Structure 1
Amino acid sequence: MASLSEEQRQAVLDAARRPGATRNGVARETGVSEGSVTAICTAAGVSFDRSLTEAAVRARVIDLKAARLGVASSMLDDVQVARQRMHGAEDNRAFLDGAKAVAALAGTHVRLAAFDKDDSVGVDAAKSMLGNLAVALGAAASADEEASNGAVG
C-alpha cells in the first residue's frame, strides 16, 4: 500500500460511510486503489453494504440451478438416443459401448438432479418428529409425576 496522506485516508473513510457506498466506487472517487480502500476501511471498522452483492449471488445460484436442471433433462434425451443406438447395434462390441454410454449418461443425470435436491422436507419432518416426541415425553413425565404424587398422598 502506497503511503497515503491523512487527508486521503479521511476522504476514503468519508466516502465509505455514505449509504450505498461500494469499495470500487470509493476507489474510483478518491483515486485510491481497491486494496488500500479495503485496508483503510478494515482498520477503521468500516464495512460496505453487501446486500446488492448477496442478491446478485442468490440470482446467480438460481440461474445455475436452472441450467443444471436443463442439462439433467437433456441427459434423459441423450439416454434415449444412446439406448436406440445400443439396441440397433450390429455386434456385441457396439452393444456394450452403447450400454456404457447409457450408464454414463443416466449416472450424470442422477447426479445433476440430486445436486439441487431440496431436503428441507426431510429437515421439517425431523423437526416435527422431535417436537412430537418432546410433547409425548412431557406428557409421560407429567403422568408419572401425578401417579407418584397419588401413591404418596
Structure 2
Amino acid sequence: MPGGTIGSERFDEFRELHAQGLGRNAIAREMGFAPVMVSRTAEHLGLTFDRSQIQAAADARRADVEERRSILAERFVTIAEDCLDRIYQPATVYSFGGKDNTYEEHEFDEAPVAERVKFLTGAAIAVDKSLKLAPPQESSGLDAAKSMLGSLGEALTAFSRAEDEREQQSEGDEG
C-alpha cells in the first residue's frame, strides 16, 4: 500500500462512498481523512471523481459574482448621479464651535464651493469604481468602417455603370 493512502481495511467503505457519487471532500468528511489522502487513495484504486459538477458549480459561481459586480457598478453610477444632483439642490451647512461649542447652520440655494468639490470628488470616485467593476464594451468602429466602405463601393460602382451606359448611348447616337 503506497504511503499517504487510507488503510486497505477501509477500501470497501471508500469504494461504496465513491459509488454513491460522493465527491472527494464529502468522502474525506465522512471517513475522517484529509482530502489529499482521499485523492491518493482514489488514484491507487483507479477511481476518479466526476469533475463536471465541480466545473458547473465554478461556472455558476463566476456568473453569480459577475452579476453582483454588475449590480455594484450600477449602484456606483446611481451614487455618482446623486452626488452631481446635490450640487444644485438647497444645502444646509453647519458647524460646532466657539468656547461654548455652539451649533450654527446656514441654508444655501445650492451647495457652496467646498461642498461642490466634495460632491464632484464623490461622483468621480463612484464613476471610476463602476468602470473598474463593469468596463464599457470596447468598439473599434471596424464594423462601421466596413459598412461605410461597402456603401461607398456600391455608390462608385453604380456611378461607373451609369457613366459607361451614357458613353455607350452617346457613341450609338454618333454612329
Specify the TM-score bucket, using the shorter chain as the normaliser. 0.5 to 0.7
Cα separation, 1, equivalents of 2:77 and 2:29: 49
With over 3 angstroms needed to count, the CA separation of the structure-2 counterparts of 1:87 and 1:13, relative to structure 1, is same
Cα separation, 1, equivalents of 2:20 and 2:72: 41
The answer for unaligned runs of 5 or more in structure 2 is 90-109, 144-175
Please state how far the C-alpha of 1:94 moved relative to its aligned partner. 1.0
Aligned Cα RMSD in Å?
3.3
Cα separation, 1, equivalents of 2:5 and 2:24: 19
Normalising by structure 1, we get a TM-score of: 0.59
Cα separation, 1, equivalents of 2:54 and 2:5: 30
**Structure 2 residue aligned with 1:33:** 33
Instruction: Map 1:1-153 onto structure 2 (within 5 A).
Output: 5-8=7-10, 10-11=11-12, 14-15=15-16, 18=19, 20-27=21-28, 31-35=31-35, 36-44=37-45, 46-88=47-89, 89-114=110-135
Identity %: 20
Cα separation, 2, equivalents of 1:109 and 1:4: 50
With over 3 angstroms needed to count, the CA separation of the structure-2 counterparts of 1:104 and 1:13, relative to structure 1, is same
With over 3 angstroms needed to count, the CA separation of the structure-2 counterparts of 1:43 and 1:83, relative to structure 1, is same
Question: Structure 2 counterpart of 1:33, which letter?
Answer: F
Deviates more, 1:87-96 or 1:51-60: 87-96
State the Cα deviation string for residues 28-50 of structure 1 (Å, max 9, x = none): 55x34143322322455533111
State the Cα deviation string for residues 121-151 of structure 1 (Å, max 9, x = none): 98xx9xxxxxxxxxxxxxxxxxxxxxxxxxx
Kindly tell me the number of residue pairs found equivalent between the two proteins.
118
Normalising by structure 2, we get a TM-score of: 0.53
With over 3 angstroms needed to count, the CA separation of the structure-2 counterparts of 1:64 and 1:4, relative to structure 1, is closer
Question: Structure 2 counterpart of 1:7, which letter?
Answer: E
Please state how far the C-alpha of 1:16 moved relative to its aligned partner. 6.3
**Structure 2 residue aligned with 1:139:** none
With over 3 angstroms needed to count, the CA separation of the structure-2 counterparts of 1:96 and 1:21, relative to structure 1, is same
Indicate the SS of the match to 2:19. Answer: coil
Indicate the SS of the match to 1:11. Answer: helix
Please state how far the C-alpha of 1:85 moved relative to its aligned partner. 1.8
Cα separation, 1, equivalents of 2:8 and 2:26: 20
Cα separation, 1, equivalents of 2:86 and 2:65: 31
Indicate the SS of the match to 1:87. Answer: coil
